[in-house]
Amino acid sequence: MKSDLRGDYSSAAPDFAVEQAWAKYTPEEHALYRRLFERQSKLVPRYACPEWIEAIAGLDAAHEIPRFDEISKNLRSKTGWEIVAVPGLIPDEAFFTHLANRRFPVTVWLRRPEEFDYIVEPDVFHDFFGHVPLLFDRTYADHLHEYGKGGLKAMRLAAVKMLARLYWYTIEFGLMKTPAGVRAYGAGLLSSGGELAYCVDDPKPRRLPFDLERIMRTEYIIDRYQETYFVIDSFEHLMRETAPDFTPIYARIRHS
């Protein structure tokens, strides 16, 4: 693993799993997590999609960094997913293999206080708050399972770059049309103090209807608010639109 990543990869298993070592979090870390949770909690009633809001209500995750094994027990009984603790970003193949087996990798470490508003690598707050609640939604959960299998296939087709754009514009920065207006379901939005309101309220960014091929052709920026969001009608809509075999789409994009 590239050594410019923050996590400690030295004790990771071959699939990059580590112990969460929950008892080693400090009181300061739990307090910082709680502050992050409180800030986002003020925003999500207005900006998060209903599925996320429904799921978080059933999780007791506001007061301290959650214990992954407890969440996993709950998750397994609802949608057959579990959390696997990881040191941070892991290689594509390991990442896709976990998803293809209904295991979501969650980073164990928490950002530093000076990174309250912005962090480059995903930490436990982003991974947990942004991604895990939606794993309780049956359709989202099934979609992410398919994405994992699709990732392994994209590796064989040397098409991960195109597939990664789908992940970016849906799982990380996706918007959903709801009766109350556009709402966020992407984890990068749900866990962001600034972009969560921006993605819904600001007139500047483009909000385009979900278009698989356009997404796969659209480069993304990682260090600023997005200029373009793609809007799904529902997780069923996302599931339907991503059901076809991507092989001919990859070929078309590559040859244009």
- Tell me which residues touch ligand HBI (CB under 6 A): 86, 89-90, 92, 95, 105, 122, 160, 164, 167
Task: Take residue 200 and report the two structure tokens written for it.
Answer: 């819904």
For residues 134 and 56, what is the distance between their CA atoms, to the nearest angstrom? 9
Q: Is 124 in the site for Fe ion (CB under 5 A)?
A: no
Of 119 and 157, nearer to Fe ion (C-beta) is 119
Binding mask 66-105 for Fe ion (x = CB under 5 A): ----------------------------------------
Report yes or no: 127 and 72 within 8 Å, Cβ to Cβ.
Answer: no
**Residue 21 carries which side chain, given as an amino acid letter?**
A
Number of residue whose CB is nearest Fe ion: 187
Tell me how far, at minimum, the Cβ of 109 lies from ligand HBI, in Å: 12
Torsional sign, CA 174, 122, 104, 35? negative
Tell me how far, at minimum, the Cβ of 121 lies from ligand HBI, in Å: 9
Q: Which does 108 bind (CB under 5 to 8 A by kind): ligand HBI, Fe ion, none?
A: none
Tell me how far, at minimum, the Cβ of 169 lies from ligand HBI, in Å: 12
Task: Take residue 181 and report the two structure tokens written for it.
Answer: 């207006």
Report yes or no: 129 and 41 within 8 Å, Cβ to Cβ.
Answer: no
From the number of C-beta atoms within 10 Å of its C-beta (0-12, 13-18, 19+), residue 26 rates as: exposed
Of 21 and 62, nearer to ligand HBI (C-beta) is 21
For residues 137 and 235, what is the distance between their CA atoms, to the nearest angstrom? 9
From the number of C-beta atoms within 10 Å of its C-beta (0-12, 13-18, 19+), residue 120 rates as: exposed
Q: Which does 164 bind (CB under 5 to 8 A by kind): ligand HBI, Fe ion, none?
A: ligand HBI
Q: Which does 15 bind (CB under 5 to 8 A by kind): ligand HBI, Fe ion, none?
A: none
Of 75 and 187, nearer to ligand HBI (C-beta) is 187
Of 99 and 200, nearer to Fe ion (C-beta) is 99
Which among 24-32, 38-46, 117-125, 157-165 is the span making contact with Fe ion, rule CB under 5 A? 117-125
Report yes or no: 219 and 166 within 8 Å, Cβ to Cβ.
Answer: no
Binders of Fe ion among residues 177 to 196 (CB under 5 A) are 187
Of 32 and 148, nearer to ligand HBI (C-beta) is 148
Of 122 and 250, nearer to Fe ion (C-beta) is 122
Chain-centre distance for alpha carbon 248:
27
Tell me how far, at minimum, the Cβ of 92 lies from ligand HBI, in Å: 5
Q: Residue 173: which residues within 8 A CB-CB, separation 6 or more?
A: 186, 188, 189, 199, 220, 226, 229
Q: For the CA atoms of 191, 188, 241, 218, what is the dihedral angle to 10 degrees?
A: 160
In the complex, which residues of this chain contact Fe ion (CB under 5 A)?
122, 187
